[in-house]
A and B are shown apart, each in its own frame.
Chain A
Amino acid sequence: MKPALPSRDETLQMARAGLQMVRTEVFPRAERVVAVARARWLFRGFRMGRDVAAYGPVAARNDGHAELGDKLTFLGGMLPTSVVCYEHARLLVGSETQFNYGVSVEAWESVQIGDRCMFASYVRVSDRDGQRIAPIIIEDDVWVAHGAILLPGVRIGARSVVSAGSIVSQDVPPDSLAMGNPARSMSLDLVARDATGT
């Protein structure tokens, strides 16, 4: 006959399973809710799509015309991300774009960012460098890796990759890899080395 109360081992197992579920299911969702609420507060001056989430501090300022798409993600980390749109400037960010910490996006005239882009930490996108102001266009599915700097007037083609630490001063065609200072582009089909670095 089975006892009415679960045994000690069974209780422990159940408690462990419950804790596991809290850790994998409840915490991420709670974090997500907090992030969405934080983004709604931080980007209150922006025209914004649905489900924008800010998992960390973001210094956001909109004096011009800034528009954020749906499902953006701003991760938190060592430094705050900054998204600034100055007077009479235009800043468009497409949907499902992800920003790691420390990214700084500055629009003095016009910055356009496409859908599903990825920005790694410490990327700088600014359309003014002290001498000139020229619009920056980043098309869809672009991956900008750690510490890259995009100078004013560049256009980055769809599905391109800007490699870590590169300084982009000229246009990058679609489906290509830009690397170095100043950045040189090569077609992604010609890249022999895979992303593992071997």
Chain B
Amino acid sequence: MRVPLMMMLGLGPTVARLKLRRCEAVGATPTVWGRVWIHGEGEIQVGDRVVFDARMAPIELHAQRGGRIVIEDDVTIEGGSSIEAQSCVTLGARSRLGMWCKLMDNMYHPVRGNRHERPQSVPLVVEEGVTVGSRSILLPGAHLQKGASVASGTVISRRIPPGVTVGGSPARVLRREVTR
């Protein structure tokens, strides 16, 4: 595996901080591999020990005016995933986002009526310990509760109860957590 030069020199967190300079708050020892494209006028908060692995494809963090992206501790985000916030997107502690994920809290165009006005946005919450597979899409109103996991390529726009694995399109429950 290719290890970035700056990390070999022990400058990883410093370079990562430089790459995350557009964020409002960055926690301890962030890791950024590759390019993170941060734009928009909203506020982005990054917790401790967050990993952005963008070696294969860049990661997009887009917080529009008044929007907020909160990434809590120990989150791993893989390349190609993009988070767009109009109101609020929260990623809980120890959650993982696979490659090419899309998290958006606004549909941007209404299904009916004038396609060029913007519908209301609904906050998107991913609670702690959630695994989101690659190429899955979280639409506004998605609420993944603690320990849920999402198979790759799934589209979700509602609440997923804790400890449940969902997959397929349209999404359905693949497995529930066995209570002990």
* Interface secondary structure of A, over-half rule: loop
Which residue of chain A lies nearest to B37 when distances are taken between CB atoms in the complex?
A78
Contact between A146 and B170 (Cβ–Cβ < 8 Å)? no
CB distance from A159 to the nearest CB of B (A): 9
Contact, CB under 8 Å: A195 / B109: yes
Q: Are B170 and A195 in contact (CB under 8 A)?
A: no
A53 to chain B, nearest CB (A): 16
CA gap between A176 and B70 in the complex, in Å: 36
Q: Which residues does chain B contribute within 8 Å of A161, judged by CB atoms?
A: 111
Asked if B139 CB lies within 8 Å of chain A CBs, one says: yes
- Partner of A78 from the list B82, B115, B119 (CB cut-off 8 Å) is B82
Whether the Cβ atoms of B140 and A78 lie closer than 8 Å is: no
Pick from A78, A118, A164, A180: contact of B80, CB under 8 Å: A78
Per-residue interface assignment for chain B, residues 148 to 163, with 1 indicating a CB less than 8 Å from any chain A CB and 0 otherwise: 0000011101100000
Q: Which residues of A contact B109 (CB under 8 A)?
A: 118, 143, 195
Measured in the bound complex, the distance between the Cα atoms of B158 and A198 in whole Å is: 8
- Give the residues from 114 to 169 in chain A that come closer than 8 angstroms, CB to CB, to chain B: 118, 121-122, 141, 143, 145-147, 161, 163-167
Nearest chain A CB to B119 CB, angstrom units: 4
Q: Does residue A188 face the partner (Cβ distance < 8 Å to B)?
A: yes
Taking the closest CB of chain A, its distance from the CB of B79, in whole angstroms, is 10
In the complex, whether B60 has a CB less than 8 A from a CB of chain A is yes
Is A7 interfacial (CB 8 A cutoff)? no
Closest to B158 in A: A197
Contact with A along B124-165 (1 / 0, CB 8 A): 000000000001110111100000000001110110000000
Residues of chain B contacted by A141 (CB below 8 angstroms)? 115
Looking at chain B's contact residues, the main secondary structure is loop
Does A181 sit within 8 A of B, measured CB to CB? Answer: yes
Partner of A196, one of B82, B119, B135, B142: B119
Instruction: Kindly name the residue among B37, B82, B121 whose own CB sees the greatest number of chain A CB atoms within 10 A.
Output: B82
How far apart sit A121 and B107, CA to CA, in the bound complex (Å)? 13
Contact of B102 among A118, A147, A177 (CB under 8 A): A147
Residue among A141, A181, A188 with most chain B CB within 10 A: A181
Q: Which residues of B contact A78 (CB under 8 A)?
A: 37, 57-58, 60, 80, 82
Report whether A122 and B169 are in contact in the complex, using a CB–CB cutoff of 8 Å. no
Partner of A195, one of B102, B119, B136: B119
Contacts of B141 in A (CB 8 A): 196-198
Q: Which residues of A contact B57 (CB under 8 A)?
A: 78-79
User: Which residues of the partner chain A approach B110 to less than 8 Å between Cβ atoms?
Assistant: 194-195
Known contacts A122-B100, A165-B169; A196/B122 CB under 8 A:
yes
Say yes or no: A165 contacts B137, CB within 8 Å: yes
Q: How far is the CA of A179 from the CA of B122 in the complex (A)?
A: 20
B119 in contact with A146 (CB, 8 Å): no
Q: Within the assembled complex, what's the spacing in Å between the Cα atoms of A179 and B104?
A: 17
Closest CB in chain A relative to B38 CB, distance in Å: 12
Task: Answer whether A197 and B112 are a contact pair too, CB < 8 Å, given A77-B60, A78-B60.
Answer: no
Q: Judge whether B155 and A164 touch: CB under 8 Å.
A: yes
How far apart sit A181 and B142, CA to CA, in the bound complex (Å)?
19
Mind listing 8 A-B residue pairs with CB under 8 Å? A77-B37, A78-B37, A78-B60, A146-B102, A146-B104, A179-B155, A196-B141, A198-B141
